[in-house]
Chain A
Amino acid sequence: MANPKPEELAKIDLAPPKTGWMETPTVFRKGMFCYGNKAKSLETVGFPNPRQWSVSEEDWHLPENWQEIFIEGLRERVSKYRSFRLFLDICVRCGACADKCHYFIGSGDAKNMPVLRAELLRSVYRKYCTSSGKMLGKIAGARELTVDVLKEIWYYAYQCSECRRCSLFCPYGIDTAEITILARELLNLLGLNIDWIAGPVANCWLTGNHLGLQPHTIKDAFDMFIDDVETISGIRVNPSFNRKGAEILFVIPSGSMFADPGTFTAMGEILLFHELGLDYTFSTFASEGGDFGFFTSNEMAKRLHSKIYDEAKRLKVKWILGGECGHMWRVWHQYHNTWYGPVDFLEEPVSPITGTKFENAKSNKTIHICEFTADLIKHGKLNLDPGRNDNLIVTYHDSCNTSRGMGLLEEPRYILKSVCNNFHEMPENTIREQTFCCGSGSGLNASENMELRLRGGLPRANAVKHVAKKYGVNMLACVCAIDRAALPPLMDYWVPGVRVTGLHEMVANALICKGEKKRTTNMRGEPLPGMEGEE
């Protein structure tokens, strides 16, 4: 990849252009945008206007009445989402959100300031939906919806990872993510998505997961995990699939079945559950907790998502356990049972090991694995040797979704501190609810937009660099599958030497299992501290 050197990329000019933003044409810069979707992906799920088109071509082959479709869609949505309408109406352009967006900080592109990102659509809303905009036009900040304006909205809607950091600082809680979510819905009405989202959505529809893993492939992947876990621990675990009558349905992001370091997390989880003797099952049908549908439209999100409750019903489990994933948890926590309605075929979750009732999930019946594990540790149910992680100096990256979308802050930290001896926080303004995005969320983790990702990831990487220098941090822990995919290249680029891990990989490293052999390696097959010389 021909990315500029870090020193080059970091020469960022945060000053806005001389010309007003409405007069400054948007230049599509290679490396900053993703490829357009393929027609086939849209056809698979019955999205409107599937056709061959390319971002870099002049003509996007829009349908004849594209303006009408867009504006009608806009009118419909402002009457369905109070958030949307209110957020379009009440921004005072105070600029408090401006330098909160990692894409703005990393690119200096003025239109990446959340307020301006929203203003791109707001100006169109004013023109067609408000009387002042209709009458006063540009003076009121309104503008015509032209092809260039549409392209601009597309460009910047897909340069927002919907991380909601801006919303935290806005005095009215204006959530620019909410605006780009709906902007993307509108663009989808015209068949304008990106390949990296539309492809996974189609896959998910057909196979139950983004990666398009078919049932036997999933089984094969786990067979490999089982062998690896045995090599490492001497214990043969035996996870089940699509098993009726299991107590718990366990759903993870498919990234954990396929790519390192997510796979180590999956291995860690099955080892932990085996040690507990948990009565759980995976499903090859509900084989994805993440919901890329969420990056296209609410309707599609709901269509992909229902498989999880449907599968829980079919398998007659009691409740659902969710693995380490970001958007999956945003959706599960904030949308899951609103979409589905009362989930009366499941039971209120109770940990079979500790007897803890999870009151906070009594309606939704889904537990985050961090809640589950933190509870185990608190009750002394795990035999842990944190010394096995002594070669790791760890910091924790809060995923935007679990932090600003649900408030899962202490559980992962509690677990980490229990399984490793060297833990250091990154600076205060970059963690917990103020956490910075990995730069690749909401379906932007393609490869053609690597420059955007590296720029967007700069604030996160910079905070890691700080603790890497100060404390020698060499491992970045997280509970999100996109993080586990996006952060390694980000670290290699900005902070070489820091690697990325899921939390349950760390747990499994430290976990002393009944009847295990003397462990000489960690879950990655690397020597444990003190075991370097042995073989």
Chain B
Amino acid sequence: MGLIFSFFAVAALVLVAIIGVKAASLQYLFGVIIPYAAFLFFILGIAYRVLQWARVPVPFRIPTTAGQGKSLPWIKQNKIDNPSSSLGVVVRMALEVLLFRSLFRNTKAELREGPKLSYGSTKWLWIAGLAFHWTFFLILFRHFRLFLEPVPLPIEIMEALDGFFQVGAPVLYITDLIFLGAVTFLFLRRVIIPQVRYISLASDYFPLFLIGAIGASGVIMRYFLKTDVVGVKELTMGLITFSPVVPAGIGTIFYIHLFLVSCLFVYFPLSKLMHMAGVFLSPTRNLVNNNRAELHVNPWNYPVKIHTYAEYEDDFREKMKAAGLPVEKE
């Protein structure tokens, strides 16, 4: 149900853009107002969500330790997976964020007759996740050419590398291929693996469809329906310099692309996509494991009712004396 709903939701968004631009000629709305509003919402939304999390205290230091802790000097500590210093945490987080280290560990449990269980390493999710996120980032990075004049060298270099395998007239970017492949894989995985299908909600399919549609519209625009690149750049430069103009003659496909991106901007802070920011705040990953060496403070700590030794002795004094145990009061 979530799947069908999400599919039609994204289809509806595409339709909205087509009608808006083709039938109603609301180029200014779709080219300027919505993108501005969406971007603002994106920034403020993320900031709000992050602050909301950051406001919540971290009462206890609860890292998941994934290696030998710091103990006796002759025992080799795993300084990354079980960090006892901030540097260790930084490295741990960097590996987590940039290389998805925890996912790298992924295993698959298999049950055979016997019973016999075995656990094989499985890296598909890790590879696909990594491919998806990295190409997404690189494509985004590439888009800066639309917002910067002159185009900075790193972007030029990246594009040259990306289009290394020149296919056809407009350079075919490898990132585009990998990106669409990864989105498709992540989607198919959700549909094909029974357990993953079982846990999937509309909010899992929707962003996949949306991001897939953004990628597809981008590719179509670039390789199939030629758009007026000069016009697009005029528009994007206008947006970034706060002097928006809407040049005539930019194809509808561009507006579809832009509208879907705007939708993603709006959807982002409201959804699980916030994992991008959330991962940095995860207390099982971003805390040092030096609980016994340093005092951690719980800001809302409060005194609790306890059972004191004196009360205990009152309950058991005679029995203690009979057993020859020392007591405070005779």
- A140-B201, A407-B78 known; 14 new pairs, CB 8 Å cut-off, are A17-B198, A20-B198, A81-B59, A89-B274, A99-B108, A105-B111, A139-B5, A178-B62, A299-B304, A337-B291, A339-B298, A406-B291, A407-B70, A409-B69
**How close is B197's CB to chain A, nearest CB, in angstroms?**
8
Which residues of B sit under 8 angstroms from A418, Cβ to Cβ? none
Interface of chain B residues 269 through 324 with chain A (CB within 8 A): 270-272, 274-275, 278-279, 281-285, 289-298, 300-301, 304-309, 312-313, 315-316, 319-320, 322-324
* Choice from B199, B282, B293, B297 contacting A116 with Cβ under 8 Å: B199
- Assess the A409–B109 pair: CB atoms within 8 A: no
Interface of chain A residues 264 through 318 with chain B (CB within 8 A): 284-285, 298-299, 302-303, 306-307, 310-311, 314
- Assess the A314–B309 pair: CB atoms within 8 A: yes
- Assess the A175–B284 pair: CB atoms within 8 A: yes
B146 at interface, CB cutoff 8 A: no
- Assess the B293–A404 pair: CB atoms within 8 A: no
Which of B25-33, B96-104, B153-161, B221-229 binds A?
A: B96-104
Interface bits A73-107 vs B (CB < 8 Å: 1, else 0): 00000111111011001111111101110000100
Q: Chain A at the B interface: mostly helix, strand, loop or mixed?
A: helix
Docked Cα-Cα span, A301 to B81, in Å, equals 28
* Choice from A79, A302, A342 contacting B304 with Cβ under 8 Å: A302
Give the size of the chain A interface in residues (CB under 8 angstroms): 119
Interface of chain B residues 52 through 111 with chain A (CB within 8 A): 53-54, 56-62, 64-72, 74-76, 78, 81-82, 84, 96, 100, 102-103, 105-109, 111
B194 at interface, CB cutoff 8 A: yes
- Assess the A94–B125 pair: CB atoms within 8 A: yes
* Choice from A83, A285, A363 contacting B293 with Cβ under 8 Å: A363
**How close is A400's CB to chain B, nearest CB, in angstroms?**
11
A513 at interface, CB cutoff 8 A: no
Assuming the A-B contacts A173-B282, A242-B325, A285-B309, are A140 and B111 also in contact, with contact meaning beta carbons closer than 8 angstroms in the complex?
no
Docked Cα-Cα span, A16 to B194, in Å, equals 7
Assuming the A-B contacts A216-B319, A241-B325, A433-B65, are A141 and B201 also in contact, with contact meaning beta carbons closer than 8 angstroms in the complex?
yes
Which of A51-59, A162-170, A442-450 binds B?
A: A162-170
Which of B114-122, B177-185, B209-217, B250-258 binds A?
A: B114-122
When C-beta atoms are compared, the residue in chain B nearest to A367 turns out to be: B292
Which residues of A sit under 8 angstroms from B72, Cβ to Cβ? 356, 371, 374-375, 378, 411
**How close is A397's CB to chain B, nearest CB, in angstroms?**
16
**How close is B299's CB to chain A, nearest CB, in angstroms?**
9
Which residues of A sit under 8 angstroms from B295, Cβ to Cβ? 337-338, 341-342, 363
Interface magnitude class on chain B: 35 or more
- Assess the B282–A172 pair: CB atoms within 8 A: yes
- Assess the A410–B204 pair: CB atoms within 8 A: no
- Assess the A10–B114 pair: CB atoms within 8 A: yes
- Assess the B292–A83 pair: CB atoms within 8 A: no
Q: Which of B72, B200, B274, B316 has the most CB of A within 10 A?
A: B72
Interface of chain A residues 156 through 205 with chain B (CB within 8 A): 164, 167-175, 178, 205
- Assess the B292–A82 pair: CB atoms within 8 A: no
Docked Cα-Cα span, A517 to B252, in Å, equals 95
Assuming the A-B contacts A86-B281, A171-B103, are A91 and B82 also in contact, with contact meaning beta carbons closer than 8 angstroms in the complex?
no
* Choice from B199, B279, B296 contacting A93 with Cβ under 8 Å: B199
Assuming the A-B contacts A80-B59, A82-B283, A171-B96, are A14 and B111 also in contact, with contact meaning beta carbons closer than 8 angstroms in the complex?
yes
Minimum-distance CB pairs A-B, first 6: A407-B69, A10-B115, A173-B284, A364-B292, A90-B278, A216-B323
Docked Cα-Cα span, A285 to B278, in Å, equals 43
* Choice from B58, B74, B324 contacting A82 with Cβ under 8 Å: B58
**How close is A84's CB to chain B, nearest CB, in angstroms?**
8
**How close is A429's CB to chain B, nearest CB, in angstroms?**
4
